[in-house]
Amino acid sequence: MTFVNWLKRNLVVIAGLLTLAYLLLPNVIVTVFSFNKPNGRFNYEWQQFSTDAWKDPCGVADMCGSLALSLQIAFWATLGATALGTAIAFALVRYRFRARGAVNSLIFLPMAMPEVVMAASLLTLFLNMGAQLGFWTILIAHIMFCLSFVVTAVKARVMSMDPRLEQAAQDLYAGPFQTFVRVTLPIAAPGIAAGALLAFALSFDDFIITNFNAGSTVTFPMFVWGSAQRGTPVQINVIGTAMFVVAVLFVLASMVIGNRRNRRKA
């Protein structure tokens, strides 16, 4: 009876944890199989434990090159999308202007559009213009689809910002530029950082749009895609695991530092 009651009360917790397990299971598999020594070209079945791949992560032709390219594109796309998106977000929150509705729709639509549609139409444009597909077309496409997400993230932050803070700065002899640098930007920074982080993740992990507009250039997701047809090297799992671990450690470290700083101040 008490067990049934306990079950009733914690049903939602159990269901939630099961979902969490579902979400994390593939990462566990990726990690475990980074220590596999597969028999054939594909790394789908467990054979035997080995650290070969970890010892030689760049041992596969072209993989680390594609990784470097992806990081490079993600960096520039983040920079571009964050700059353009932050400007739009400020304009939308802080100013009244004509065509506001049109601008809002133009921001919203890329997020409500299946990637394959954007990818296909952008390719049509590039083909019509006779553009050389490669690094630049990928970068253009990435800035385009990251932009809306940056706008959304920054807008949320700027909207929750008290406009009186900027008025107070002006009242205290800060001109428009000083006000922006000393007050607006530092306060909006968490929103901008969130937008930039999102843009980086989206760009780095994008496959569909890149696949259409890359020509013969190969980014990391495209390398993984290709290897799914030709044969999956264990090194893919090594990279996947390493990125997961680095990300989790990074977040945990920033949380610990944040906690300690708060505690010291209180």
Residue type, 107: I
Quick check: 263 binds other proteins (CB under 8 A)? no
- Site residues for other proteins, 105-124, by CB under 8 A, read 106-110, 112-118, 120-124
Query: What is the C-alpha separation between 227 and 216, in angstroms, rounded?
Result: 15
The CB-of-224 to other proteins minimum distance in angstroms stands at 4
Stretch that binds other proteins, among 47-55, 56-64, 71-79, 239-247 (CB under 8 A): 239-247
- Site residues for other proteins, 167-206, by CB under 8 A, read 167-176, 178-179, 182-183, 186-187, 201, 204-205
The CB-of-23 to other proteins minimum distance in angstroms stands at 6
Query: What is the C-alpha separation between 166 and 58, in angstroms, rounded?
Result: 51
For residues 227 and 118, the answer to whether their CB atoms sit within 8 Å is no
Closest CA to 243 of 180, 189, 193, 200: 200
Quick check: 7 binds other proteins (CB under 8 A)? no
Quick check: 131 binds other proteins (CB under 8 A)? no
What value does the CA radius of gyration of the chain take, rounded to a whole number of Å? 23
Helices and strands in the chain: count of H runs, count of E runs: 12, 0
The CB-of-136 to other proteins minimum distance in angstroms stands at 12
The CB-of-150 to other proteins minimum distance in angstroms stands at 9
For residues 53 and 263, the answer to whether their CB atoms sit within 8 Å is no
The CB-of-83 to other proteins minimum distance in angstroms stands at 8
- Site residues for other proteins, 17-56, by CB under 8 A, read 17, 19-20, 22-27, 29-30, 33, 44-45
Dihedral (Cα; 255, 261, 264, 266), 10-degree rounding: -90
